[in-house]
């Protein structure tokens, strides 16, 4: 924990005045922002951290948007301030008051935009440009999943690892999905058991990553009997508590003895209890004992004596998962021995020792689970710890992203839309290919659509109906039925937008259009619209800049940003390597904008954020966490983001 | 760019000057008052080099992970990845993976002419593989004869760990390494069975009359009279005033001793401590007691004796828990006393005694023997070996140049980039010789050779395959103006001897890891390091 710097003598005043302001203007308002820099970093980092924990993605977009928004606010206020200086002869005091009033107004306008207009855009306009996807567990679903994962991993790990991870994770997810018959259920299951199902191996090339049949228990045998590997069916029990040498009803570990004989009797009794227990295990056909705790030496001894194998000190989560998959209860350690019966005995096809990197583990190949799948483990290889941890973190992030995807699918209703010009533009592979080199004219630009409730002609409530309807040739978007007083997800789950800044470009386009429709009296509101719209462009702009440094340089540099906005679809095609439709979950984009535009609730907890308990290390993305741990990472955003703090120039805070 | 080059330059110097049999020994001191270590082995160098910038640490960690897995080739990983990075930095980001895959596919194909199929019944090939490792570390301070002796001993020890037909399903056995300081290397030997250190005078054992075969009890629990252990839980006991719980436990220990005596056991071995009174009682009954053996010895001991460890002294051990030994022989090596345990059964357990006069050399010798043993084990998995001495690297470099020039469109790799890749491989080969040597390749097997004199008479390639004769022509190693032919002859049916051979599995893994590490560094746009807020 790093010591926090003092806030300076004038900081309380800023804090008092900051309650009603968004964080952006709070920074601008500060007369001595340097002293607050660290605490501001913590606040921003905390925002990013929260966002990443929820979505598994979007940290860099968040920083870029925030940075651009801050820049935009500052420029706007400075322009207005300069105007005041040239047209007014007012004194300094008046100008300060005017500046503060302007700041407050801009802050409230931005909040209003984020609360109302963005809401409307995400609800009414964006979905018209999204493509509903078929999330089945067949080959079609696999293709969609693979494209989504490819898009995700391309920004998280280095190029070589990205390709390997995409195929590997896609196959891994689909293996479970085929048994569970649901992608959403699979993602939930994998997310809950990510650490148990994923094993990191060092010192091997990335492409040696593979699936391993069975569950990898991250411990070696404490006792291994040679006959175990020859068995075609292995029966096992799981212990989650230590076998105490002396039984005690209330787990009181203090024992009283009246004399030496009593002392000896107790010890002998304990030994006999363990002996009887092991004999009972043999009697019910158990071959192996798995324990999440360290067991007493005499237990090991009797297990060896009776040719049973033992794996102890397993992580608790692995024990729980094992019980869940094998559909058994953990063995009670302090009970009547005769109570231990087949309810506590699981069965597996094999149990063997495997060498994964330097670690010797046990691989337990379970029988088909009650859910209908054969559990398998994901073995991730890389030359060093940092890279393999990065792969693992990227896998976790991908699962989080996928979880968001399926979050509301089961709750929402589905509305079919017609793929017509009146319904907005739905880009597909063929159209994007055709558009490369032939920018569309202004006349074919998507028209603003009002929220069209008349289209809700068919309401479907389940994935199965969605799938059957899509097979029939209809395309769907998902839409929730708005009810007063009910919290709705504005963006419908299951829909996709092309990657490469599409979401930001669309939002920019609609914000600008809304701004032009406002009355001339609402000038300040128009400014807020334009500031936000301009900030949104930073994402596609940065993507373009990064891309210009590589092979697409010639094609992309010819296109000016303004043209890009006008002909966004054609630019997207260029951005997407001309003929590859990379998909993007637009609810993530929405999450980014919402978080950046409405940080006011975070501000109310500013004081607590300044407390010494705040962990500044928690506020980094997966890649950031990786850099903390080990070595180097590839980044496609050339920002000076230190792992735990955003640098001064990144935020462009006036000094 | 320049900072990265400078950072890598230091690593390059260390790795290059330590690489191969002509590498220079490094003196390493950790700065915390530890001992000074002299070594050129990657197992010692890589952890010691863990200082410096992030890029260096990244490279070092990569090499270290490879060494932990394959034992050999750590400096190769370091050297090759540094050369790739330095050679390709100014070219920008390109995929070197494609070239690496090209090499790996070639090495794994049947048309590869720089690998040999290792015949496990051919001792000469196994000796070549072991000899290459033994001679690669100058810090061992071995003369040619000593190196040859050690090569034979290591191979002998390895072959003793291979189970015979009857025990084929048991897997490989174990070689226990015992190092003795103060004797010459010639005192090193391989002993069948297990040699255990003993604090008791060996004369005591010499006077013992033991039968031809006798029972052995192996105890894994403490017999020191401790009160019960509770696993993860801490147990506490309440005893009435005046009660001696130690006496209570001791009486149970004596009862356990009676069981041991009654069973006819002649040797009791305990992993932990035996209570002195119990030890005295047992010795009085003519039982040899060895204690404080530690966990490492337990596995080979159990395998040797066929015993099952006794984990509790509260109940009488079953007769099946006892093992059997044939002899108990006191051995004195230097000033150390040992006891050699041998069995009449065919058990793949043996002891390799390593002797040397200096501590540093002994440590280096121990490392080298472990590496050699591991590489021999790897040969059992993939029975191939690559030509050593830089011949594989120069062969691959020529292959890459030839392939990329011939099939440019197929591989879609820039010529310049391929040239850099090939040059990096050649530089690794050149690193095996000090500066000033002229490096040549032959036209027949495209193997590497180096010389300082101007005559080609008696010249042979580094691995020993190509020997100068009238049919063999040589040209300088490196890029040529005209494309070098790569359609030499197939390998001869009978390979010359001695050859320098490298482990196939270890070298392939090293190649892949080095290229992958370099590609990550080449892809890196920004280095982010945690900085503490002041």
Count of CA atoms in the C-beta half-sphere (13 A) of B221: 24
Q: Residues with Cβ < 8 Å from B364, sequence gap 6 or more? A: B38, B39, B41, B44, B137, B139, B140
Residue B267, number of CB atoms within 10 A of its CB: 22
Whole-Å CA distances, B129 to B59, B123, B376, B429, B461 = 27, 10, 8, 18, 17
Please choose, from the candidates A131, A121, A117, the residue with its C-alpha nearest in 3D space to the C-alpha of residue A451: A121
**Could you tell me if A501 lies within 8 Å of chain B, comparing CB atoms?**
no
A372-376, A456-460, B45-49, B356-360: segment of lowest average pLDDT: A456-460
The helix or strand, by DSSP H or E, that contains position B304, with its residue range, turns out to be helix B295-305
At B77, list the tokens: 């990983």
**Could you tell me if A387 lies within 8 Å of chain B, comparing CB atoms?**
yes
At A532, list the tokens: 């936000």
- Chain centre to alpha carbon of residue B158: 12
Q: What is the pLDDT along chain B (534 residues), one digit of tens a residue?
A: 677 777 788 889 989 999 999 899 999 887 777 778 889 999 999 988 866 788 888 899 999 999 998 999 999 999 999 998 888 766 655 567 888 888 999 999 988 888 899 988 888 999 999 999 999 999 999 999 999 999 999 999 999 998 877 666 677 889 999 999 989 999 999 999 999 987 665 555 555 566 678 899 999 888 887 655 544 444 555 555 555 667 777 888 898 999 999 999 989 999 989 999 999 999 888 888 998 988 889 989 999 999 988 888 878 888 888 999 988 888 888 888 888 999 988 888 999 999 999 999 999 999 999 999 999 999 988 899 999 888 899 888 888 888 877 776 555 556 777 888 888 998 998 888 887 777 877 776 666 565 544 455 567 788 878 776 766 677 777 776 555 566 656 777 777 777 889 999 999 999 999 998 988 888 777 777 766 544
**Could you tell me if A257 lies within 8 Å of chain B, comparing CB atoms?**
yes
Residues 30-49 of A with CB under 8 A from B: 38
Alpha carbon distance B232, B106 (integer Å): 54
Whole-Å CA distances, A264 to B239, B243, B252, B316 = 12, 12, 8, 15
Q: Is A546 exposed, middle or buried (0-12, 13-18, 19+ CB in 10 A)?
A: middle
∠ CA(B333), CA(B336), CA(B340), 5° rounding? 65
A71-75, A221-225, A332-336, A427-431: segment of lowest average pLDDT: A427-431
pLDDT at A101 over 60: yes
Angle between helices B359-381 and B504-523 (to 10 degrees): 100
**Could you tell me if A420 lies within 8 Å of chain B, comparing CB atoms?**
no
At B99, list the tokens: 């070239």
| Residues A204, B69: C-beta atoms closer than 8 Å | yes
pLDDT at A358: 77
Mean pLDDT along residues A135-162: 81
Per-residue pLDDT band for A105 (boundaries 50, 70, 90) equals confident
∠ CA(A209), CA(A211), CA(A214), 5° rounding? 140
**Could you tell me if A300 lies within 8 Å of chain B, comparing CB atoms?**
yes
Instruction: Answer whether A495's CB lies under 8 Å from A131's CB.
Output: yes
**Where is pLDDT greater, at A11 or B511?**
B511
A270, A632, A642 member nearest B520 (Cβ): A632
At A563, list the tokens: 């043209």
B229, B240, B251 member nearest A296 (Cβ): B229
Phi, psi dihedral angles at A158 (to 5 degrees): -75, 165
**Could you tell me if A148 lies within 8 Å of chain B, comparing CB atoms?**
no
Among A40, A155, A263, most B C-beta atoms within 10 A, so best to mutate, is A263
B chain contacts of residue A616, beta-carbon cutoff 8 Å: 533
The β-bridge relationship of strands B265-270 and B214-219 is: parallel
At A346, list the tokens: 């699981």
Please choose, from the candidates A236, A320, A240, A343, the residue with its C-alpha nearest in 3D space to the C-alpha of residue A282: A236
Alpha carbon distance A267, B221 (integer Å): 15
A3, A305, A384 member nearest B58 (Cβ): A384
What order of strands is seen across the sheet that includes strand A346-356? A215-217, A359-366, A346-356, A234-239, A288-291, A309-311
Q: What domains are there in chain B, each with its CATH number?
A: 2-115+386-523 (1.10.560.10), 193-227+243-348 (3.50.7.10)
Mean pLDDT along residues A60-77: 82
pLDDT at B492: 73
A chain contacts of residue B513, beta-carbon cutoff 8 Å: 203-205, 383
- Kindly tell me the sign of the dihedral angle through the C-alpha atoms of A624, A629, A633, A639: positive
pLDDT at A9: 30
Please choose, from the candidates B394, B418, B395, the residue with its C-alpha nearest in 3D space to the C-alpha of residue B406: B418
pLDDT at A574: 36
Whole-Å CA distances, A73 to A60, A76, A536, A654 = 20, 5, 13, 12
A224-238, A364-378, B240-254, B382-396: segment of lowest average pLDDT: B240-254
Tens of pLDDT, residue by residue over A502-518, are 778 778 888 888 888 87
Phi, psi dihedral angles at B425 (to 5 degrees): -65, -45
Alpha carbon distance B419, B101 (integer Å): 16
**Where is pLDDT greater, at A474 or B6?**
B6
Instruction: Answer whether A295's CB lies under 8 Å from A318's CB.
Output: no
pLDDT at A131: 66
A209-213, A381-385, B384-388, B400-404: segment of lowest average pLDDT: B400-404
Q: What is the dihedral of CA B147, B151, B152, B158, to 10 degrees?
A: 150
Instruction: Answer whether B429's CB lies under 8 Å from B393's CB.
Output: yes
What order of strands is seen across the sheet that includes strand B327-333? B194-197, B336-342, B327-333
**Where is pLDDT greater, at A353 or A571?**
A353
Tens of pLDDT, residue by residue over A406-432, are 665 444 433 333 333 333 333 333 333
**DSSP code for A530:** H
Count of CA atoms in the C-beta half-sphere (13 A) of B421: 31
Query: Which DSSP string do the residues of B331-359 spell out, in sequence order?
Result: EEETTEEEEEEE-SS---EEEEEEEESSH
Alpha carbon distance A22, A371 (integer Å): 49
Average pLDDT taken over every residue of chain A: 64
B170, B314, B523 member nearest A271 (Cβ): B314
The residue with tokens 């040529």 is B480
| Residues B248, A627: C-beta atoms closer than 8 Å | no
Rg (chain A; Cα; Å): 30
A chain contacts of residue B237, beta-carbon cutoff 8 Å: 254-257, 263
Task: Quote the percentage of chain A above a pLDDT of 90.
Answer: 9
At B253, list the tokens: 């220990």
B chain contacts of residue A297, beta-carbon cutoff 8 Å: 220-221, 229, 311-312
Distance from CA of A86 to the nearest CA of B (A): 42
The β-bridge relationship of strands A495-498 and A583-585 is: antiparallel
Alpha carbon distance B195, B340 (integer Å): 4
Q: Residues with Cβ < 8 Å from A191, sequence gap 6 or more? A: A396, A399, A400, A403
Alpha carbon distance B99, B399 (integer Å): 11
**Could you tell me if A301 lies within 8 Å of chain B, comparing CB atoms?**
yes
Phi, psi dihedral angles at A585 (to 5 degrees): -80, 115
- Kindly tell me the sign of the dihedral angle through the C-alpha atoms of B2, B7, B9, B12: negative
Judged by DSSP in three states, A159 sits in: helix
A chain contacts of residue B248, beta-carbon cutoff 8 Å: 260, 263-264
Angle between helices A33-55 and A59-87 (to 10 degrees): 140
Query: Which DSSP string do the residues of A427-449 spell out, in sequence order?
Result: --HHHHHHHTTSPPPGGGSPPP-
B chain contacts of residue A221, beta-carbon cutoff 8 Å: none
A chain contacts of residue B526, beta-carbon cutoff 8 Å: 635, 638
The β-bridge relationship of strands B288-290 and B265-270 is: parallel
Tens of pLDDT, residue by residue over A260-281, are 666 666 667 777 788 888 888 9
pLDDT at A609: 29
**Could you tell me if A368 lies within 8 Å of chain B, comparing CB atoms?**
no
Mean pLDDT along residues A292-300: 83
Q: Is A383 exposed, middle or buried (0-12, 13-18, 19+ CB in 10 A)?
A: buried
Please choose, from the candidates A161, A61, A57, A162, the residue with its C-alpha nearest in 3D space to the C-alpha of residue A397: A57
**Where is pLDDT greater, at A235 or A639?**
A235
The residue with tokens 């009283």 is A256
| Residues B238, A255: C-beta atoms closer than 8 Å | yes
| Residues B243, A638: C-beta atoms closer than 8 Å | no
Residue B191, number of CB atoms within 10 A of its CB: 21
Tens of pLDDT, residue by residue over A563-605, are 444 444 433 433 333 223 333 333 344 444 554 544 433 332 3
| Residues B308, A304: C-beta atoms closer than 8 Å | yes
Count of CA atoms in the C-beta half-sphere (13 A) of A483: 6
The ipTM (two decimal places) reads 0.79
**DSSP code for B31:** S
pLDDT at A536: 85
Count of CA atoms in the C-beta half-sphere (13 A) of A50: 14
Rg (chain B; Cα; Å): 29
């Amino acid at each position: 924990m790093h010591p926090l710097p003092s806030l300076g003598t004038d900081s309380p005043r800023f804090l008092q005045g900051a309650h009603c302001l968004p964080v952006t203007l709070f920074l601008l308002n500060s007369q001595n922002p340097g002293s607050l820099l660290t605490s501001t970093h913590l606040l921003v980092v905390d925002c990013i951290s929260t966002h990443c924990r929820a979505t598994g993605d979007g940290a860099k977009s968040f920083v870029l948007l925030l940075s651009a928004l801050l820049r935009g606010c500052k420029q706007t206020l400075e322009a207005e301030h300069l105007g005041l200086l040239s047209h007014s002869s007012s004194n300094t005091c008046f100008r300060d008051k005017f500046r503060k009033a302007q700041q407050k107004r801009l802050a409230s306008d931005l909040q209003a935009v984020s609360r109302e207009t963005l809401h409307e855009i995400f609800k009414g306009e964006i979905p018209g440009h999204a493509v509903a996807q078929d999330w089945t567990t067949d080959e079609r679903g696999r293709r969609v999943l693979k494209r989504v994962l490819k898009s995700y991993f391309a920004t998280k790990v280095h190029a070589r690892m990205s390709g390997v991870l995409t195929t590997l994770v896609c196959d891994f997810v689909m293996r479970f999905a085929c048994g569970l018959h649901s992608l959403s259920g699979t993602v939930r299951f994998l997310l809950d058991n990510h650490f148990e199902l994923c094993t990191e191996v060092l010192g091997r090339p990335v492409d040696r990553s593979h699936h391993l049949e069975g569950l990898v228990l991250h411990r070696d045998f404490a006792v291994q009997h040679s006959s175990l590997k020859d068995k075609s069916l292995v029966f096992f029990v799981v212990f989650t508590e230590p076998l105490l040498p002396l039984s005690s009803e209330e787990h009181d570990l203090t024992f009283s003895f009246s004399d030496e004989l009593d002392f000896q009797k107790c010890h002998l009794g304990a030994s006999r209890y363990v002996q009887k227990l092991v004999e009972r295990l043999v009697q019910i056909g158990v071959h192996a004992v798995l324990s999440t705790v360290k067991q007493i030496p005499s237990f090991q001894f009797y297990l060896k004596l009776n040719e049973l194998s033992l794996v102890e000190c397993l992580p608790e989560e692995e024990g729980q998962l094992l019980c869940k998959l094998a559909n058994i209860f953990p063995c009670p350690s302090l009970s009547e021995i005769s109570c231990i019966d087949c309810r506590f005995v699981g069965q597996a096809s094999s149990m063997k020792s495997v060498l994964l990197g330097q670690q010797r583990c046990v691989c337990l190949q379970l029988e088909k689970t009650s859910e209908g799948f054969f559990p398998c483990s994901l073995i991730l290889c890389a030359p060093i710890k940092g890279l393999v941890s990065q792969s693992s973190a990227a896998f976790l992030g991908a699962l989080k992203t996928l979880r968001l995807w399926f979050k509301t699918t089961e709750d929402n209703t589905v509305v079919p839309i017609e793929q017509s010009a009146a319904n907005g533009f739905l880009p597909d592979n063929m159209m994007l290919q055709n558009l490369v080199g032939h920018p569309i004219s202004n006349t074919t630009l998507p028209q603003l659509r009002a929220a069209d409730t008349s289209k809700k002609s068919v309401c479907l409530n389940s994935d199965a109906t969605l799938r059957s309807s899509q097979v029939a040739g209809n395309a769907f978007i998902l839409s929730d039925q708005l009810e007063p007083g009910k919290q709705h997800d504005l963006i419908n789950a299951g829909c996709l937008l092309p990657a490469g800044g599409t979401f930001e470009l669309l939002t920019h386009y609609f914000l600008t259009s809304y701004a032009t429709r406002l009355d001339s009296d609402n000038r300040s509101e128009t400014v807020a619209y334009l500031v936000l719209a301009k900030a949104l462009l930073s994402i596609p702009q940065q993507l373009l800049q990064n891309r210009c440094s590589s092979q697409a340089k010639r094609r992309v540099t010819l296109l000016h940003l303004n043209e890009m906005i006008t002909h966004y679809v054609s630019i997207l095609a260029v951005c997407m390597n001309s003929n590859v439709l990379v998909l993007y979950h637009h609810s993530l984009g929405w999450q980014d904008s919402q978080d950046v535009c409405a940080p006011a609730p975070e501000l109310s907890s500013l004081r607590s954020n300044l407390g010494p308990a705040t962990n500044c290390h928690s506020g980094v993305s997966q890649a950031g966490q990786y850099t903390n741990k080990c070595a180097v990472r590839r980044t496609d955003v050339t920002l000076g983001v230190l792992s735990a703090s955003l640098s001064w120039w990144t935020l462009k805070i006036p000094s | 760019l320049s900072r990265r080059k400078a950072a890598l330059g230091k690593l390059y110097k260390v790795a290059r000057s330590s690489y191969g049999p002509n590498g220079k020994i490094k003196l390493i001191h950790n700065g915390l008052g530890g001992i000074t270590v002299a070594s050129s082995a990657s197992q010692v160098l890589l952890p010691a080099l863990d200082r410096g910038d992030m890029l260096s640490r990244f490279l070092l960690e990569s090499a270290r992970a490879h060494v932990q897995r394959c034992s050999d080739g750590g400096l190769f990983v370091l050297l090759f990845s540094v050369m790739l990075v330095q050679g390709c930095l100014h070219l920008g980001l390109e995929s070197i993976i494609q070239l690496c895959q090209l090499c790996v596919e070639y090495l794994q194909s049947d048309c590869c002419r720089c690998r040999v199929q290792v015949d496990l019944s051919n001792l000469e090939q196994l000796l070549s593989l072991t000899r290459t490792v033994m001679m690669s570390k100058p810090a061992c301070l071995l003369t040619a004869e000593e190196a040859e002796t050690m090569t034979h001993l290591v191979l002998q020890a390895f072959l003793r760990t291979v189970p015979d037909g009857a025990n084929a399903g048991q897997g490989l056995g174990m070689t226990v390494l015992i190092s003795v300081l103060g004797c010459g290397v010639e005192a090193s030997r391989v002993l069948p069975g297990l040699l255990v250190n003993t604090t008791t005078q060996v004369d005591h054992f010499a006077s013992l009359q033991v039968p031809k075969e006798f029972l052995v009890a192996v105890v894994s629990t403490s017999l020191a009279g401790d009160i019960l252990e509770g696993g993860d839980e801490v147990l506490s006991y309440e005893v009435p005033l005046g009660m001696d719980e130690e006496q209570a436990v001791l009486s149970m220990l004596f009862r356990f001793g009676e069981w041991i005596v009654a069973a006819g056991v002649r040797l009791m071995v305990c992993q932990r401590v035996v209570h002195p009174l119990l030890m005295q009682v047992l010795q009085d009954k003519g039982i040899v007691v060895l204690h404080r053996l530690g966990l490492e010895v337990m596995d080979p001991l159990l395998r040797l004796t066929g015993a099952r460890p006794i984990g509790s002294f509260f109940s009488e051990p079953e007769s099946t828990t006892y093992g059997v030994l044939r002899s108990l022989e006191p051995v004195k090596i230097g000033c150390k006393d040992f006891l050699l345990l041998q069995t009449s059964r065919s058990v793949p357990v043996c002891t390799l005694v390593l002797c040397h006069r200096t501590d540093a050399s002994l440590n280096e010798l121990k490392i080298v023997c472990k590496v050699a043993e591991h590489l021999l084990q790897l040969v059992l998995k993939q029975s191939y070996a690559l030509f050593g001495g830089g011949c594989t690297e120069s062969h691959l470099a020529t292959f890459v140049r030839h392939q990329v020039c011939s099939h440019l469109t197929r591989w879609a790799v820039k010529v310049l980039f391929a040239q850099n890749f090939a040059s990096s491989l050649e530089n690794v080969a050149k690193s095996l010789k000090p500066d000033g040597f002229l490096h040549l390749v032959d036209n027949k097997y495209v193997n590497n050779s180096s010389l300082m004199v101007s005559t080609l008479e008696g010249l042979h390639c580094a691995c020993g395959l190509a020997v100068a004769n009238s049919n063999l022509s040589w040209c300088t190693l490196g890029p040529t103006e005209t494309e070098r032919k790569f359609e030499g002859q197939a390998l001869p049916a009978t390979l010359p001897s001695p050859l320098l051979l490298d482990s196939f599995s270890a070298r392939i893994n090293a190649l892949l890891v080095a290229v992958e590490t370099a590609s990550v560094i080449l892809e890196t746009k920004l280095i982010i390091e945690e900085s503490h807020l002041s």
